A and B are shown apart, each in its own frame.
Chain A
Amino acid sequence: MFGGIDYGVVERALPLLWQGMLFTLQLTGLSICGGVFFGTILALMRLSSFRSVSFFAASYVNFFRSLPLILVIFWFYFLVPKLLGRPIGGFYSVLIAFVMFEAAYYCEIIRAGIQSVTRTQVHAGYALGLTYGQTMRLIILPQAFRNMLPVLLTQSIIMFQDTSLVYVVGLKDFLTTADLISNRDNRPVELFVFAAIVYFIICLIGSNSARRLQRKYTI
């Protein structure tokens, strides 16, 4: 198995691997956007003074955080087409699964971020005549996002790695593609080493830029 490593295998597989990487990046990017968007809404709901609203958000978060991601992916893959009554394609069902799952995690990060901004900043906004929405959007959230940028990016990097779990429903992301090619050409070492290097580089770039962004935006 380790005899005669052939890097040409990887080179010939690059177009297919690139397809897989595009899938992974798209899924990651869209899931981050959707997850942060719904996570912010959930966080605001969790901090709401209306009991029922905060109870709903808390239940949502606790529910999704107590399920394994792989189960959620599996579930949504079968559930979403049933609920909608028509097939929407594998990509969209896993996208919905990721957004809903990640929103729960982002919610907790964003909630902590909002709570890191002092209550009197809210008062300062109100005292100038700003509404709740304006105060959140213009004053609290910009500060909160700066404070939580490192954690937010760490969570996003974890999610980037987690997208490989879509193999359970047979979608061809980067890692699944590498696996398929390794089976086809019987070259697991080359392909899995290559896959590991690619994941490593992307995550390294991600965490480095997290650190740089944090330094740039620290107030």
Chain B
Amino acid sequence: MIEVKNVSKWYGAFHVLKDCSTSVAKGQVVVICGPSGSGKSTLIKCVNGLEPFQKGAITVNDISVGDKATNLSQLRSRVGMVFQNFELFPHMSVIRNIMLAQIKVLGRSEAEAEERAMKLLTRVGLVDQAAKYPAQLSGGQQQRVAIARALAMDPFAMLFDEPTSALDPEMINEVLDVMVALAEDGMTMMVVTHEMGFAKKVADRIIFMDEGHIVEDATTEEFFGTPRSERAQMFLSKILSH
């Protein structure tokens, strides 16, 4: 479903992504980890064209992301994305946040959009917060709303960019629970995260990145068993030791 082939990207002279190739099949959950600055967020943002890349090719559902002729808005409307800092729209109520793109992009009616939004809010356990504004919610609640907002577009894949990194420890689980349920429902997911418990539980594959390279791309058992690269072993020992 998602194919990344020999992608390279530069920020000016800085080479952020170096010849990255991987793929995610339908229904697969792939976790991307690695030290900060290794290019994992950049890679995931290339997948829905939020970041342009200079070399290589990415296709999502056989649509080429880098192609100038591609209607990126249309593609993005079906690839959900969840951000590190939630990025809810602060001037709109929770329910409006979820309804906006349904109406403006998918052309749903107010009533349809509202019904879908309420269903999703029920699913993430926030139905009683619909009328509130994002600033009135906790971080964990905001991130669950953000997930509901992305799901409202009926995406065929979901991208998560460090969805729990900005959260207080006690709120991490409420977000992870929603993500686990999503994975179990068969959603195709690419998740940048350091939550190795989550990775062990639901990931089919783990990608380890360092300095712009995909150093390791292995099944979850292989990765947690014996990572092949020394760099990944070091990284794992650091984050699993506490």
Chain A interface residues (CB < 8 Å from chain B): 120-121, 123-124, 126-131, 134, 138-139, 142-143, 146, 219
Contacts and interface: CB of A to CB of B under 8 A. Distances in A.
Nearest to B87: A124
Contacts, number: 64
A130 B81 CA distance: 13
Contacts of B198: none
A213 B228 CA distance: 61
Contacts of B153: 128-129
A121 B79 CA distance: 17
B91 A142 contact: yes
A127 B50 contact: yes
Nearest to A127: B81
Given A120-B87, A219-B135, A130 B50 contact: no
Contacts of B101: 128-130
Contacts of A129: 73-78, 101, 105-106, 153
B76 A127 contact: yes
Nearest to A142: B91
A200 B14 CA distance: 57
A134 B88 CA distance: 16
B224 interface: no
Contacts of B206: none
Contact of B100 (A123, A128, A146, A219): A128
Interface residues of B, number: 30
A123 B105 contact: no
Contacts of A142: 91
B105 A130 contact: yes
A139 B76 contact: no
A111 B159 CA distance: 31
B90 interface: yes
Given A126-B50, A129-B77, A134 B83 contact: no
A128 B76 contact: yes
Q: Which 9 A-B pairs have the closest CB atoms?
A: A129-B77, A124-B87, A128-B101, A127-B81, A129-B105, A219-B90, A129-B76, A129-B73, A131-B73
B110 to A, nearest CB: 15
Interface in B125-183: 133, 135, 149-150, 153
Nearest to A121: B87
Given A123-B50, A138-B104, A219-B133, A128 B83 contact: no
B119 to A, nearest CB: 18
Interface of B: 45, 48, 50, 72-81, 83, 85, 87-91, 100-101, 104-106, 133, 135, 149-150, 153
B95 to A, nearest CB: 15
A134 B106 CA distance: 13
B98 to A, nearest CB: 10
Contacts of B81: 123-124, 127
23 contacts: A120-B83, A120-B85, A121-B87, A121-B89, A123-B50, A123-B81, A123-B87, A124-B88, A127-B79, A127-B83, A128-B76, A128-B100, A128-B105, A128-B150, A128-B153, A129-B75, A129-B77, A129-B105, A129-B153, A131-B73, A146-B91, A219-B91, A219-B135
Nearest to B77: A129
A128 B98 CA distance: 10
B149 A128 contact: yes
A120 B166 CA distance: 14
A56 B104 CA distance: 32
Given A120-B83, A219-B133, A219-B135, A126 B73 contact: yes
B105 A124 contact: no
Contacts of B106: 129
A143 B87 CA distance: 13
A131 B71 CA distance: 10
A143 B80 CA distance: 23
